[in-house]
Each structure stands twice: as C-alpha cells, then as structure tokens.
Amino acid sequence: MLVLRRRVGESLLIGDEIEIEILDANQQGAKIGIRAPRETLVLRKELKLTAQQNTTAAEAPPLADCEHKLKNFRRTAQEPSLRPDKQN
C-alpha cells in the first residue's frame, strides 16, 4: 500500500480524473472530499463488504449442514455448564 502524509487543504490525484482532498482532520477522523467522474462509484468499504457478506449469507447450505457447523457453538450456548466435556 502506498502511504502518503497530507495536511488539511492538500489533495492527491488518482489517475487523470479523480482528486481526493483532505477537508478536515481531528481525533475523530478525516473529512475527505472526492472529485470523480459521475460514473465512478464511490462507496464506503464497509457497505461493499456487507453487500458481499449478505450475498454469501443468502447462499446458506441445507439446514443440516448449517446446524453441523454451529453444533459446538449451540451446545455451548444452550448447555454451558451441564456438559462442558462434550463440546467437541
């Protein structure tokens, strides 16, 4: 990853058409301005990760397989103290 230090009011260019400006920065975070062609999709990464994760989540295998994968967890969740020796 390329790492650059920029101050408030300074910007950087990505290719010919995308400009990113640091508008403000403090302990809470940095406020960033983005100038890019209309057709360039700008997304917070978390949104993209969530969309991808949802797509995976929607393809859950048959319930028996899900159950199997959750077996250790569910046993622990339901019988936390009764059968600690049967978790695996």
Instruction: Output phi, psi for 10, to 5 deg.
Output: -95, 160
Helix (H, G, I), strand (E, B) or coil at 74: helix
Residue 30, beta-bridge partner list? 25
Helix (H, G, I), strand (E, B) or coil at 54: helix
Interface residue list for other proteins (CB under 8 A): 44, 46-47, 49-61, 63, 65-67, 69-70, 72-74, 76-78, 80-81, 87
The nearest distance, CB 9 to other proteins, in angstroms, is 24
Strand order in the sheet with 29-35: 11-14, 18-26, 29-35
Closer residue to other proteins in complex, CB, 27/78:
78
Closer residue to other proteins in complex, CB, 40/72:
72
Closer residue to other proteins in complex, CB, 33/84:
84
